Every structure is written in structure tokens, then in C-alpha cells.
Amino acid sequence: MIEEIRIRDLGVISEATLPLGPGLSVVSGETGAGKTMVVTAVGLLLGNRADAGAVRTGAKSASAEATLTLPAGHAALSRALEAGADIDEFDGGAELILARTVGADGRSRAHVGGRSAPVGVLTELGETLVAVHGQSDQIRLKGASAQREALDKFAAEAEKSFSTRLAAYRAVFERWREARAELELLRTSSRERLREAESLATALAEIQAVDPQPGEDEALKAEAIKLGNVEELRKASLGAHEALIAEDYGEGPDAVTLVDAARRLLEAVADSDDELAETSKRISEVGYLLADIARDLVGYATSLDSEGPGRLAEVEDRRGELAVLVRKYAPSIDEVLQWAAASQLRLDELADDSGRIELLEAEVADALAELAALAADVTRLRRSAADKLSRQVSAELKALAMPDARLVIELAAAERGIHGADDISFLLQPHAGSQPRPLGKGASGGELSRVMLALEVVLAAVDPVPTFVFDEVDSGVGGKAAVEIGRRLAMLARHVQVLVVTHLPQVAAFADQHILVTKSSVNNRSGGGITTSNVRLLNDEERVRELARMLAGQEESATAQAHAKELLAGARRTSP
């Protein structure tokens, strides 16, 4: 919902603030006062083309800004966040500010949530926030996809089984589309798949012939380093053994002898002190450990003698075989084995192409048969809903001074798609016996606005946007028809926010908020005149005076004011 619109230097409006609220808000004023600038401002905020001619004479730029409150999770909030907007959140909703500036040179800038954004973002947000109906504005339900969506939402309420049948159709359609795509791929790429299978088979045969083991390349690398340094390793191990146990009784003391001497010294006095006794035991353990290490060193040196140059050659040959696999297939042997496992699965899949094709052909045929039945159900339910929607909208048109007009909803057979097998068109038959024509063609701005009002009133409960703006909806009507237009705008306002620019007191009488645009002219120093407009929200007394002006052009007339009060009372009695 739009909480407030702020306008600066747009047309004849120098600066104005429109405080809006829920329900029906009307904007009135004398001809030329600038009422349409309100709709122009909304259009700018929806991303409409900027017109430098709309900038107030003498001003460098014009701007429009709106504060909106939206429920949590609204699509516009998500899109605004993607554009980098700052959004003020509160319990159950959020506040979003949109702004647009148009320079006198025609350049335009847009801001979403205080952040600069492309004008296209305003257009995307506007599609979910506001619907404007006027002679020069885009019609919300003009496009084929929008008409289909509106009919389907209406059908979901009017036909109990429509939603489930459409969902079932879409699920089968997706299954059919995926199966058909895979089938086409198998048929058109059979040669490529055969070459791929042959290549994989050759690679797997090569890997299998070498028979690599997990981690084998690293293990062989370590063994090669060891075998390449046998003499150094033997010298080091025997030297270490000599340091631990001097078997040739050399002059230097060995580690085992020294540890044993320390043990004997402590054992001699162990009975005198428990702490030294415990230390003696630990030294004994060290002696055993050193003896074990010495034996291991002898065994290690002996094993080096058995791994001579012959073993090193075997290792290098094996590493060469593994290097070929690593060069061709993956950075390591473990990754080569992983690639082989995945390739085997792919080869099994390619080898089963003929069987897979048969299964897919059967699946496609079954899905097509199921789709035909489901599409027929969807079309039948859509046609029934279209008849109901057409009758309801046509009834509304009769009350809106278009007694012979009728909404015609055509369903034509179309190529099967995700939404069914129907082409849907909303057409207007303005007079009995005339040829129905697409919405937007063959009707005046006022007539078209009334058609859209009738549609929106019927669809409001199932296909609403938060805010509707109507301009010229009351063009060319008066009397009872004007009262009916006001009543239906009030009906629509039960579901959404409605803003209407009007010159009819019968319409204005139904408003929840009445906004007046007034103009004044002043002379400047150069002798010329400057026209400015002001905007204000009317209180009850001011509202009576404005309705009197709209009725008779005499806001001070007691008779006109009495008639205005009667209009207000009648609107309150008959409001939905």
C-alpha cells in the first residue's frame, strides 16, 4: 500500500504531499489544476518513460517519491533487496521508498530504498505493486500471459478441481519434456556416444592392464628414494648401532654400557631411598629399549644388503608404468582409480543405449496420452470458468453505463505447453452484433477504464495487486451510472488500495480520503504570470464544499451543499 506520495516541480505542482491510506482515495480539482500530475507521478515511480516537458517551467528537475508498506515476503521486497535497497522492517511487514528524478534535459534517475538503481527495476517492482488504468497507460491485463494467469486464478476459485488438474498436467508435462529431450539426445548423438564408448573402453583396458593400487605411486616413490641411498643408510644405521653397543670393545664408551653403569650405581643404594629405587627401574627400562633399538638397526642394515640394484630397477620400471596413467588420466594414482570407476559407470550407461531408447520411447508415448487427457480437463474447466468470468464482468459493465458491452473470453487450441494447450484472449464486444476486439482496441479511454474496473472488481479477491490507480474511469458518464462507478470502486477498495482521479461528485462521495488539487496564479517581477498548484487532504466540512463545487460550481451555495451532504449520506448507506 502507498502511504504517501511526494511531488516536486512536476507540471504545475511546485511541491505537494499526498497522504494516502487504505480504501478509496479520490483526487479532484478544477480543470488545469494538475490532477493528472498525480497519475504522472505514479507512472514515473513505475518506470514509465521520462518526459522533460513535465518538468515545471524554470525548475532544473522534477521528482516523485512514494513510501510504501508491504507485507513480509512480498515479491517486491525480494527484488528491491537484490537491487541493494535499504528496507525498514517492522512486525509483519516492511517499508520501502521509491524515488524518480527527471531533469529538464530529459535525463532520469531512479532510487529504490535510498540506493541508486536502473529505471528497469522500478518497472519490475511496479508490476507487483500498482496497476494504472488510464487512456495512455499500459493495461495490466492486456498481455496474453497476464490474461491467462488472471483466468487461472479465477478458475482456481470457481472450479474446485482446476488447481489439482493443472498441477497434475504440469507435472506430467515436465516428465514428458525431460524424457523427450533425453530421447532426442540419444538419437542425434549416437555416433558421438559410440566414439565415447570406444575411447572409454580403450582407456579402462589400459588401466586394468597396469592394475594400479591405491597409493602405489607414493609408496614406490618413497622406496626409490630409499634404494637410491643404500650406502648412506647402511653407514648411518651401523654407526648408530656402534654408538649404542660397541661390540669390538673400542676405547669410547657405548650408550648401553654407560646406562648399565648408571643402573648398577643406583641399585647399590636403592634400599636406602624409594625415589632412587624408582629411578633405577626407569634406567633399566631405558637399557632394554636401547638394546632393542640396537638389534633393529642391525636388522635394518642386513635388509639393505638384500635390496640391491635389481630391486631399484624394478621400482623405477613400475613407476614409469604408473606415470603414463597419471599423465593421461589424472594427477595421482588414487585419482586415476576414481576416474576409472566413474568411466566404468559411464561406459555401462553408453552400452545400454538401445535399451534406454526403448524405455524412453514408451515413457514419451505414455506421457503424451496422459497429457492429452489432462489438457482436455484443463481446457474444459478453463472454458467453464471463462463463461462465469465473462458473465460477471459483463454484468458489471451494464451497471457502468455500458449496457450493451460484453467481455468475451476466447479459448483456442494451441501447441501443448507448460500451461496447457489453450491460447486465451480477453475481447471486448462494445455493442450487440459488433465484432469482439482485443482489449485496448476500439474503445475510448473512459470506456476502457470502465472495462478494466469491471474486471478488477470481479478479480479483486483472486488476483489483486496492492494498489490500483484509475484515471478517466468516469469519462462520459453521469447520474446513476456515476453512482455505480463510485460503488464499484468502493467494492474494489475493500480488497486493495484504490486511487481515482475524478471530476464526478457521485464518485467522490464514496471516497475514504478526498484529496483536492487547487491552482493559483501570481504575477512575477517581469510582468508574467506563474501558475502553481497545491494539494491537501480535505476534512468533512471541506469535503462538502468541494462536492458542492463539483455539483454546481458554487461551493458556497446552501442548496449545493445540501445536495453534497445528501450524496455523502447516500454513499455511506449503499457502500458495500
Q: Could you give the CA distance from residue 277 to residue 263 in angstroms, rounded to a whole number? A: 10
Per residue of the chain (576 residues), give pLDDT as tens: 899 999 998 888 888 888 888 999 999 888 766 777 888 888 888 888 888 888 888 889 999 999 999 888 888 888 888 888 888 888 878 999 999 999 988 889 999 998 999 989 998 888 888 888 765 554 567 778 888 988 998 999 888 899 999 999 999 999 999 999 988 887 777 677 778 888 898 899 999 999 999 998 888 888 787 777 777 887 888 788 878 887 655 566 788 888 888 888 888 888 888 888 888 889 888 888 988 888 888 888 877 766 667 777 888 888 899 999 999 999 999 999 999 999 988 888 777 666 778 888 899 999 999 999 999 999 999 999 999 999 999 998 888 878 888 999 999 999 999 999 999 999 988 888 888 988 767 666 667 777 888 888 888 777 667 888 888 677 767 778 888 888 888 988 888 899 998 888 999 999 999 999 887 765 555 555 566 677 888 999 999 999 999 888 888 888 989 999 998 998 888 776
Q: Cell 464482468 maps to which residue?
A: 393
Residue 513 included in any domain: yes
Question: What's the domain range around 6?
Answer: 1-140+465-536
The three grid cell numbers given for residue 345, joined into one nine-digit string: 559407470
CB 115 within 8 A of CB 83: yes
Enter the C-alpha cell of residue 182.
Answer: 533425453
Cβ pair 427, 420 in contact under 8 A: no
Asked if residue 457 lies in contact with residue 491, where contact means CB atoms within 8 angstroms, the answer is: yes
458, 392 in Cβ contact below 8 A?
yes
Contact predicate 144/423, CB 8 Å? yes
114: left (phi over 0), alpha (psi -120 to 50) or beta: left
Judge whether 472 lies within some domain: yes
Are residues 123 and 26 located together in one domain of the fold? yes
Q: Could you tell me if 230 and 111 lie in one domain?
A: no
Is position 151 within any domain?
A: no
Q: Establish if 411 belongs to a structural domain.
A: no
What SS3 class is residue 566? helix
Same domain flag for 221 and 318: yes
**Whether 8 and 131 share a structural domain:** yes
Cβ atoms of 514 and 550 within 8 Å: the answer is no
Residues 14 and 134 in one domain: yes
- Specify if 126 maps to a domain: yes
Q: What angle do CA 307, 308, 313 make, to 5 degrees?
A: 100
Residue 62 to residue 76: CA distance in whole angstroms: 25
Q: What is the CATH number of the domain that holds 497?
A: 3.40.50.300
State the pTM of this model.
0.62
* Domain-located, residue 404: no
Q: Are residues 4 and 136 located together in one domain of the fold?
A: yes
Q: Of 316, 331, 346, which closes a domain? A: 331
Domain boundary among 331, 361, 384: 331
Distance (Å, whole) CA 347 – CA 194: 10
d(CA 370, CA 171): 11
Q: Look at residue 284 and tell me if it is in a domain.
A: yes
Say whether both 243 and 130 belong to one domain: no
Within-domain flag for 122 = yes
Q: What distance in Å separates the CA atoms of residue 316 and residue 224, rounded to the nearest whole number?
A: 7
Number of folded domains that form the chain: 2
